[in-house]
C-alpha cells in the first residue's frame, strides 16, 4: 500500500442527494423484515423514481458545487464520476452530467471501483490538482435498487439509491467554504483480485452477454454467493487498510476524531469499530436509514457530518471504504480554521 501525501489539496465543498421515495424494510419484506433488520441494521432506504437515472442523481448532488456565492459559474477543469450503475453500459455517464451542468466541456469520465469508488476518484482528483488542475468535481452515485429484483432478500435489503459530491481544489483556487475548511492530508488505495468473484453482476459484460436466459436466472442482478465470507472480508478490508494507513502516517486510533465510512451494513461497521478500537460514537453512521449506496455512501455521510456540525477545526477525519473486486481506499482530512499553506 502506497500512501500519497498532499500539501495544497482542499475539499472546497460537499453535496448529496437522496431520492424522495423512501422504502422501509418492513414494507418491502413483511414478516421477514425483523430478521433482516437484525442481520443488517438497514431499516429503510431511498429509491430512485422510475424516471430518475444515475445522471439525474449526480446533477442534483453536484449542481450546488458549480455555482459561486454570487450565482456565477465556477470554472471546472475535470469531472470524475464513480459508479457501477451508469445510465448505459456505454458511453460513460460523466460526459452527460458535465453537459447538463453546463461545465463547458472539461474532461469527464467514469471510474469503477465498486464501493471504494469515491476514494479512488478523490485520489485521482488530488493527483490532477497536484499536476495543475484548479478545480475538480467528484461525484459518486448509484441506482442500485432497481437492479436487484432477481436478488435474494438478504442482498436486496442492503442497498439504496443516492449520490454524493465533492469539489476538490488547489490552494490558489479555494474560496471561503460553508463549513470548516478540509485539507486533504493523504490517501491510500488497494485492490485484491483474488476476491473478484465474491460480489459481482455475472451477466451484461463481455464474459457473459445479457440474454433472456440470464435475466430469468437472475444473472443480471448482483450476486453474493457466500454472504458470511463477504462479511468477514469486508471487515478485513476496512481494518487492514485503516491500520496500515495510520501506521504509515504515524497516527493511532486515538488521533482520529471522526471516521466517515462507506456504509455496507451496520453489523460490519460495529465489528470494524471494535477491531480498530475506535468507539462507534466516533463513526458517522447513516446506513440504518439510507442502506448501502455503494460508492456514494461515504460522500453522503461526509456531507451529512458537515451539515450536522460534527466536524470542527482541529479535528482529523478518516474516510474509509472497502468494496467488491476487492477494493479499498482511505483518505485523511484535517479540518482547519482557514485555508493556509
CATH number at residue 4: 3.40.47.10
Domain count, the chain: 1
CA separation for the pair 123, 129 (Å, rounded): 10
Could you tell me if 76 and 136 are in contact, meaning their C-beta atoms sit under 8 angstroms apart?
yes
Structural contact between residues 138 and 169, judged by C-beta atoms closer than 8 angstroms:
no
Residue 265 among the catalytic residues: no
Mean pLDDT is lowest, of 4-8, 71-75, 317-321, for 71-75
Annotated active-site residue 59? The verdict is no
Return the higher-pLDDT residue of 315 and 195. Answer: 315
- Show the domain range for 297: 1-341
Answer yes or no: is pLDDT of 288 > 90: yes
Which of the four pLDDT bands, split at 50, 70 and 90, describes residue 101? very high
Read off the pLDDT of each residue in 93-115 and give the average, rounded to a whole number. Answer: 96
pLDDT, tens digit, for every residue of 223-278?
Answer: 777 777 788 888 989 999 999 999 999 999 999 999 999 999 999 999 999 999 99
**Local confidence band at 325 (pLDDT 50, 70, 90 cut-offs):** confident
User: Active site includes 143?
Assistant: no
The pLDDT tens digits of the residues spanning 127-160 come to 999 999 999 999 999 999 988 877 888 889 999 9
- What average pLDDT does the segment 276-302 reach? 97
Q: Which of 46, 143, 220, 262 is catalytic?
A: 262
Q: Calculate mean pLDDT across residues 41-49.
A: 97
Phi, psi of 256 (to 5 degrees): -95, 120
Instruction: Report angle CA 259, 324, 245 to the nearest 5 degrees.
Output: 40
Choosing from 143, 220, 265, 292, which is the catalytic residue? 292
Q: What is the arithmetic mean of pLDDT over 279-300?
A: 97
Of 60, 115, 143, 220, the catalytic one is 115
Q: What angle do CA 245, 248, 253 make, to 5 degrees?
A: 60
Amino acid at each position: 500500500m502506497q500512501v500519497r501525501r498532499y500539501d495544497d489539496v482542499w475539499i472546497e465543498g460537499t453535496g448529496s442527494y437522496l431520492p424522495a421515495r423512501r422504502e422501509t424494510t418492513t414494507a418491502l419484506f413483511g414478516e421477514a423484515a425483523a430478521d433482516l433488520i437484525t442481520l443488517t441494521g438497514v431499516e429503510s432506504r431511498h429509491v430512485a423514481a422510475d424516471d430518475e437515472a444515475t445522471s439525474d442523481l449526480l446533477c442534483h448532488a453536484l449542481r450546488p458545487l458549480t455555482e459561486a456565492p454570487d450565482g456565477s459559474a465556477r470554472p471546472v477543469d475535470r469531472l470524475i464520476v464513480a459508479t457501477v450503475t451508469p445510465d448505459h453500459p456505454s458511453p460513460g455517464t460523466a460526459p452527460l452530467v458535465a453537459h447538463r451542468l453546463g461545465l463547458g466541456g472539461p474532461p469527464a469520465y467514469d471510474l469503477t471501483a465498486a464501493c471504494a469508488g469515491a476514494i479512488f476518484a478523490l485520489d485521482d482528483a488530488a493527483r490532477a490538482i497536484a499536476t495543475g488542475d484548479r478545480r475538480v468535481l467528484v461525484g459518486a452515485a448509484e441506482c442500485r435498487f432497481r437492479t436487484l429484483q432477481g436478488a435474494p432478500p438478504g442482498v436486496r435489503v442492503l442497498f439504496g439509491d443516492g449520490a454524493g459530491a465533492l469539489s476538490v481544489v488547489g490552494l490558489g483556487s479555494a474560496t471561503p467554504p460553508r463549513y470548516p475548511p478540509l485539507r486533504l492530508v493523504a490517501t491510500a488505495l488497494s485492490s485484491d483480485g483474488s476476491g473478484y468473484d465474491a460480489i459481482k453482476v455475472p451477466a451484461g459484460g463481455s464474459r457473459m452477454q445479457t440474454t433472456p436466459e440470464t435475466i430469468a436466472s437472475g444473472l443480471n442482478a448482483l450476486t453474493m454467493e457466500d454472504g458470511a465470507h463477504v462479511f468477514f472480508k469486508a471487515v478485513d478490508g476496512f481494518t487492514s487498510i485503516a491500520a496500515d494507513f495510520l501506521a504509515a502516517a504515524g497516527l493511532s486510533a486515538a488521533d482520529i476524531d471522526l471516521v466517515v465510512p462507506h456504509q455496507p451494513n451496520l453489523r460490519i461497521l460495529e465489528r470494524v469499530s471494535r477491531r480498530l478500537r475506535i468507539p462507534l460514537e466516533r463513526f458517522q453512521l447513516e446506513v440504518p436509514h439510507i442502506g448501502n449506496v455503494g460508492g456514494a455512501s461515504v460522500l453522503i455521510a461526509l456531507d451529512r457530518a458537515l451539515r450536522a456540525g460534527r466536524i470542527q477545526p482541529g479535528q482529523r477525519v478518516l474516510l474509509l471504504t472497502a468494496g467488491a473486486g476487492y477494493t479499498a481506499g482511505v483518505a485523511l482530512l484535517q479540518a482547519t480554521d482557514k485555508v493556509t499553506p
